[in-house]
Amino acid sequence: MSKLVPPHGGKGLQPLLLQGEERDGELTKAAILPKVPLTSRETSDLIMMGIGAFTPLDGFMSHDDWRRCCDDYRLASQSVFWPIPITLSADRALADSIAPGDEVALWDTETETIVGTMKVAEKYSIDKEHECKEIFRTTDPAHPGVQKVMAQGPVNLAGPVKALSESYYPEMFASIYQRPAEARRVFEERGWSTVAALQLRNPMHNSHAYLAWIAIEVCDGVYVHQLVGKLKPGDIPAEVRVKAIDALVNKYFRKERVVQGGYPMEMRYAGPREALLHAVFRQNYGCSHLIVGRDHAGVGDYYGPFDAQKIFNEIPPDALVLRPLAMDWTFYCYECGSMASMKTCPHENKAVIDENGAYKGGARLLLSGTLLRKLMSEGKPVPSEFSRPEVIAVLKEYYDSLEEKVEVKLHGKATGEAVKP
């Protein structure tokens, strides 16, 4: 009997990925079906359903599921908690050529391969602004998640799917790519029952490491779970982040207390709502807790720095088995001489670092992934208290190789301006 938390929905993992002869037969059939092109987000969602990470979803959402998800955090079809729509869109001409009951091939436009099939159960249109207001709390076209929703085709196609591929992820990220069943097997082999997931879309700086060490003190182990799907321009590519995180974890963590994993979802930058989605699929991976720190899954100044923690108190108590580990802003304090948080450190004045990375006074050196990317992109020195030299070496190699620099803009939560001590 497993000691791990049960998968979301209470009916076990439900992977939709076909293998062996069953997959070969479905691919043969799919070759003559009408092709529905997928965006990179839709492809990554299909793979997440395929590996069982989006259990208990069995396909792209119907209109009733979409509406209930937006408004009530639930699936109408199963009355199961679900915080973000998982939908597939098409242009009008293609949608008009497909009737409910038809089978279609799902075509990944990036790799130009068939990655799944779907039996179309429904065609419908949505109020895109409504989705954006509910999920992103904004309709600002500058928000990267809003951009993706507003760029969707005018018709959604719903129905159960069969996944036929995991794209390039298992090969490109062979050292960390994991399906939920594989992660659960590792946790069980170690005898773990409580596992804290650390969500990462940035290289692991010292604040991330500090949060992970705190989690290890109260759980059996920590699951350093990296997003390897697509990010917005200016973010560091997954293959570089994996190398940087490896350098830190392999030297500064006890190997028996940490597991690394990678998952193929694409960021939506939905802040609080996305934190809930992260919780759902981490429960499917076997995690009992999710570390939720400052501006979890946020972007810019669209969300309050701790909105992603507050939303866990607003959902029904039976929504999830997994629980959040709410963490305050952490930083290096020169007066304490160590990492600290706003709950523990009494020294409220900010540290001053000159353009050469030298310490000039003050206490708190506030750390953020955005600030790290900005310093590295501009070729400025990074204080040793910010991140380990092994991480900085990997990132410097990457930024030195760029022919064109991407401007990184700081927001209030990256500098500390948006957070009161």
CA distance 71 to 69: 6
Dihedral over Cα of 32, 36, 37, 40: its sign: negative
CA distance 326 to 393: 31
Tokens of 305: 């720095």
Q: Are strands 155-163 and 221-227 parallel, antiparallel or unpaired?
A: unpaired
Tokens of 193: 């029952």
**Best CA proximity match to 226, nearest among 369, 414, 57:** 369
41, 201, 241, 364: the active-site residue = 201
- For 97, residues 6+ apart whose C-beta sits below 8 A from its C-beta are 34
Question: Is 202 assigned a catalytic role?
Answer: yes
**Best CA proximity match to 117, nearest among 225, 238, 32, 231:** 32
156, 202, 206, 284: the active-site residue = 202
- SS3 labels along 99-124: CCCCEEEEEECCCCEEEEEEECCEEE
Instruction: Give catalytic residue positions.
Output: 201-202
